[in-house]
Amino acid sequence: MVAQLDHVIPSPITRRDSLNGGQRHLWRVRLGVALVMLLERDLALYYSPVPIVRLRMACTDPQP
């Protein structure tokens, strides 16, 4: 399995914690090299979702 997060560094900056009302530290995260390579190559597969969003009706395969 590929490591997605290479390194996590707690930041001195804090934000309000919505779960307990206290403060929480933000993280600085370094992504793994393998994940970055996958993301770089996946960008070439990107397509515009606009034509799909414009559909008013769609057909689906009734078989599970």
In a domain, 42, yes or no: yes
pLDDT value at residue 5: 75
Residue 53 within a domain:
no
When divided into structural domains, the chain yields a total of 1
Whether 16 is covered by a domain: the verdict is: yes
What is the SS3 assignment for 42?
helix
Residue 33 lies in a domain: yes
What pLDDT is stored for residue 20 in this prediction?
Answer: 92
Its domain, for residue 24, covers: 5-48
27 located within any domain: yes
- The answer to whether the CB of 44 falls within 8 A of the CB of 63 is no
In a domain, 57, yes or no: no
Kindly list the averaged pLDDT for each block of 10 residues, start to end, along the chain of length 64. 74 90 90 80 69 71 58
pTM of the model: 0.41
Residue 56 placed within a domain: no
